Every structure is written in structure tokens, then in C-alpha cells.
Amino acid sequence: PEGVVCEHSEPVQLAVPRLAPGSRVLIMSFSHAEDLDVVAACLRRQREQGDLPFIGLIGSQTKWATFSNRLHGRGFAPEELAQVTCPIGIPGIGGKEPEVIAVAVAAQLLQTLQPAPKAGE
């Protein structure tokens, strides 16, 4: 779709500095090590530029607890780690099937594009 860009870099975290300002980042590879490096690259970018409105990581709360500890060990503060959404997807939508996760994540991303509705609207 218009405005969607797929980036292919090796290693993948090298793509992060070249992302357009305002990019929403979803991290979902087959490698926990690669995911961790991409999250770290996104957090470094946030530290320097603060222009990534959404950093999402697929995984469980257990995965995020492990990642948080490792990222803290790499020098990231709790307030920086709070910028990462994990697990991804609108809370309350049940199911672990890929299509269910895709819809929940797409809806979550749409929420980042539009201002929240005002009370009574």
C-alpha cells in the first residue's frame, strides 16, 4: 500500500537509522538475537531523534522481561524501555493464530495514526 516500505538490510538493524521520521516499527523475525538487536537500534534512534512513534515487538511478557533485562544491561533506562510495546496487538483480542495477531496489530497501528476520539464523539 501507499506509504508502506519493506526494508531488506543485512544485518537488519542497519535499516533503523535510515527509517523515515514517524515510522512505525514492528519487530518480528525468527531470531530472538536479531529481534534484540533491532529493538536496541530503535531505542538508540529514539534516544538521539525521538521520532519513532511506535516500536512493537512480537512476543510474550516473558520474552519482554528477558529483553528488558538484556537491554538494561546495554545501558537503556526504564523510561526508554517503556517506549517498546510487547506483546503487540490490541489487548483483549484472543487467539494466537497469525491472522488474529495480524488484525490486532493492524488495528493497534491504526490507533497510532489518528488522534484519539474526544469524549462524547
The residue type of 117 is: P
Strand partners, 56: 26, 85
For the beta carbon of residue 90, count every other beta carbon within 10 angstroms.
Answer: 14
Cβ atoms 112, 53 nearer than 8 A: yes
Question: Residue ranges of the domains in the chain?
Answer: 12-88
What's residue 3's pLDDT? 78
CATH code matching the domain that covers 12-88, chosen among 3.20.20.80, 3.40.50.300, 3.40.50.2020, 3.40.50.720: 3.40.50.720
Q: What is the pLDDT of residue 87?
A: 93
Joined grid coordinates for residue 48? 538521539
Query: Distance between CA atoms of 118 and 1, rounded to whole angstroms?
Result: 29
Mean pLDDT of 27-36: 94
pLDDT score at 9:
81
Q: Is the pLDDT of residue 117 over 70?
A: no
- Under the banding of pLDDT at 50, 70 and 90, the label for residue 118 is low
The Cα 70–Cα 120 span in angstroms is 43
pLDDT in tens, 68-113: 999 999 999 999 999 999 999 999 998 889 999 999 999 999 999 8
Task: State the Cα–Cα distance between residues 38 and 119, nearest whole angstrom.
Answer: 37
